[in-house]
Amino acid sequence: MKRPSYRRFALFTTALTGVLVALGVYTAATGAGLACSQQWPLCDGGVLPQSIPSFIEWFHRLVAMITGFAIMGVVGAAWRGDQDRRTALFATAALVLLPFQISVGAITVTLNGTIPWGYSVPTHAAHLLFALSIFTALTLTTISAMRGHYRRSAHERSRLAVGAALVLIVANFLVSRVSPLIDYGPAAQGTFALTALAAFAMLVAAAVWLPGTELARYRPGVFVAGAAMFLVTLLGRDLVVYTAEARLANGLLYLVGFAAAAVVAYAARGGSNEERPSLA
């Protein structure tokens, strides 16, 4: 049986990390985060859960463990294989952040009542920030590993990435706290996290590819859209009191992110496919 290529393994690990973040958001939204009787790594006094809420938390931990091993595999394969130093360093950055993510995650479900900030907004914020940082590092790992294996030009890839980001930003808005169309329950929150990460990944890819095209001057627009989606993701996690002012700021961030990405997408609708020297 032929082993999957490093590129596919890195892409799988990045996608699995995104799913894990969405699953973590869903778990927190259901209130299952403390369902294992505030124990970690055990659950309900043993290895296996004893209730549906405990199972949700236990399953989240199981996926987190599998993801952690996958990240270690990506790093090991990068240094031992034929990947360049840049790819290996991106992967290593994700691995360096992983223990902090695990530690903060353990704090959020075990130390409530033991220390004041156990199950609190600052801890959840740190948990999410580490998760987003790991996801970004893995996204860059995948993009770097794919260098030299693309079938499309940098211009075409950038155009498709920004176009996909636009669609995902709209989808993310529809399931967000700003949208009046849905109840922002656990399923919506999980979907929100997944679409936000997908949009962010597309914008990261476009930021890497644009310097190899005649559209390089539009790269700041991609950074603006990416920053807007990053902040939108934080606002979607109850990290601030969601007042009318916070809702307005959230809506404005969507507008800024969509407008910035739309400008780049409009500029990329035609143009030359001539390649320029690029890191990707």
190 and 92 assigned to the same domain: no
Q: Which pLDDT belongs to residue 252?
A: 96
Q: With a cut of 70, which residues of the chain have pLDDT below it?
A: 1-4, 37, 110-121, 239, 271-280
Q: Which pLDDT belongs to residue 1?
A: 46
157 and 95 assigned to the same domain: no
| Domain of residue 277, CATH code | 1.20.120.660
100 and 179 assigned to the same domain: no
Q: Which pLDDT belongs to residue 145?
A: 93
Domain that holds residue 218: 152-280
Q: Which pLDDT belongs to residue 180?
A: 86
192 and 237 assigned to the same domain: yes
Q: Which pLDDT belongs to residue 271?
A: 56
Judged on CB neighbours under 10 Å (0-12, 13-18, 19+), 143 is: buried
Q: What does the alpha-carbon distance between residue 210 and residue 32 come to, in Å, rounded to a whole number?
A: 42
Q: Which pLDDT belongs to residue 37?
A: 66
142 and 233 assigned to the same domain: no
21 and 138 assigned to the same domain: yes
Are the beta carbons of 210 and 158 closer than 8 angstroms?
yes
Q: What does the alpha-carbon distance between residue 264 and residue 171 come to, in Å, rounded to a whole number?
A: 19
178 and 131 assigned to the same domain: no
**Domain boundary at 114, 149, 184, which?**
149
Number of structural domains in the chain: 2
The tokens describing 170, both together, are: 């709209």
71 and 127 assigned to the same domain: yes
Q: Which pLDDT belongs to residue 34?
A: 72
**Domain boundary at 88, 117, 149, which?**
149
139 and 158 assigned to the same domain: no
Q: 112 - beta bridge partners?
A: 115
**Domain boundary at 130, 149, 168, which?**
149
Q: Which pLDDT belongs to residue 187?
A: 92
182 and 268 assigned to the same domain: yes
Q: Which pLDDT belongs to residue 118?
A: 58
137 and 24 assigned to the same domain: yes
144 and 56 assigned to the same domain: yes
Q: Which pLDDT belongs to residue 29?
A: 85
